Structure 1
């Protein structure tokens, strides 16, 4: 049981997978918790179990973050509850398959869940935390933001957005006391694969990480001050090289004339 008390961490998608692992790891660190997910019964069961095991206060908020009503209910809580000093924007889903054969309504649902809800909750947290000069926003992306698959156009697009969005947010809050992090896990052993178009047993075992290992690594990265944490990347210098190369493109991205190779 933790002996150090901290503020309240709001974790979305908190009853399963990475969200449940985050909730447990944060409770062990002494954080009170506000768990957000759709299933009220599972929320209450998770809340009771964590409170008993770790001696922290745990509350539950049932919300479907793929709907405006669900998003607003969490936004309102972020605005009203000054005890919340951390948002873990974890909730999301996956759909894989050829874009030409996709159901547009399902794609819209995925974009709303993975992108719109992340944006709106981060904006609500940003407003609350900026007023206090403290707080932490963690947005969960995916390695498929970088490892593009032909069947993952929309999923990869939403997760690439999360990285760029968080990098911009970090610039906005530089020196303010508000911490920002984006976590970029690879394949995790969770139910996100069920019915997604790619099943977990199709993936090589050596490419799949346990959610608790990913959550611990992500929190260690946060402790170390990393803006971008990739739990399985053996050498962080590889990400730094990638970022340096991206930054090197910037001087040529906006000029008065086209490049010579396009001259006619």
Structure 2
């Protein structure tokens, strides 16, 4: 059995993805989380989390993209989390890894805009899987009104894919909230790098 936290295993899976023309979709769903605060977390466990949530996802994506671009067809689905935009909710390293997945997907989508390769990033909320047991907080201990069944999450993600969405947030009922968030982010873009500090930093 291959383990995606092991460099050699990631390389073997990446080679298979790159060399097999029958592979037309990559779903980066492997991941691990944590619920304990950073100061109560083991640094080695956090490094393992980064290796799986960030490095393995990046390596597998880079294996798939050239083949997909060469055929001008293919789909990449990256599973992030709502903590990508709400990192205060769980362990900071976990939130950081999922913020990477969102940012990586945004950049990748921009790079592939002139191709027929589709990128989707899914931001699930709490989902009824063994993720929570592994992370140290059994799902039964969560308020059940915030926990989505796994099959409902999958169905929603696939519906988002069918609708050609880039960002799919299955729990977000008002998509306008995401649109407002994105519009605010993009509105800052032209003002984020200037030759002079902002006036508020030039004097008290």
TM-score between the two structures when normalised by the length of structure 1: 0.74
In the alignment, what sits opposite 1:113? Answer: 52
Is the 2:83–2:89 Cα contact (8 Å) retained in structure 1? no
* 1:25-44 equivalent positions in 2, closer than 5 A: none
Aligned residues of 1:143 and 1:185 also touching (Cα < 8 A): yes
> Once the two structures are superposed, what CA deviation does each residue of 1:136-165 show, in whole Å capped at 9, x if it has no partner?
000000112122236510000000110110
Partner of 2:122: 183
Deviations 1:8-33 (A, max 9, x none): xxxxxxxxxxxxxxxxxxxxxxxxxx
1: distance between equivalents of 2:100 and 2:134? Answer: 23
**Matching residue of 1:37:** none
Structure having the higher strand fraction is 1
Count of equivalent residues: 203
Shift of residue 252 of structure 1?
Answer: 1.4
Q: Give the CA deviation at 1:225.
A: 1.0
In the alignment, does 2:103 pair up with 1:156? Answer: no
Structure 2, unmatched stretches of 5+, are: none
Counterpart contact for 1:138–1:181, Cα < 8 Å: yes
User: Are residue 247 (structure 1) and residue 200 (structure 2) matched?
Assistant: no
Q: Deviations over 1:131-190 (max 9, x none)?
A: 111100000001121222365100000001101100110001012010000000101100
Greater fraction helix: 2
Q: How does 1:10-29 map to 2 (within 5 A)?
A: none
* SS of residue paired to 1:182: strand
Distance 1:190 1:150 in 2: 18
Aligned to 2:150: 211
What secondary structure does 1:237 align onto? helix
The equivalent of 2:139 in structure 1 is 200
Equivalent positions of 1:1-264 (< 5 A) are 62-149=1-88, 151-264=90-203
TM-score w.r.t. structure 2 length?
0.96
* Cα contact 1:99–1:151 (8 A) shared by 2: no
**Whole-angstrom CA distance in 2 between matches of 1:248 and 1:88:** 31
2-structure distance, mates of 1:204, 1:96: 15
Write the distance in 1 (CA, Å) between the matches of 2:134 and 2:157. 27
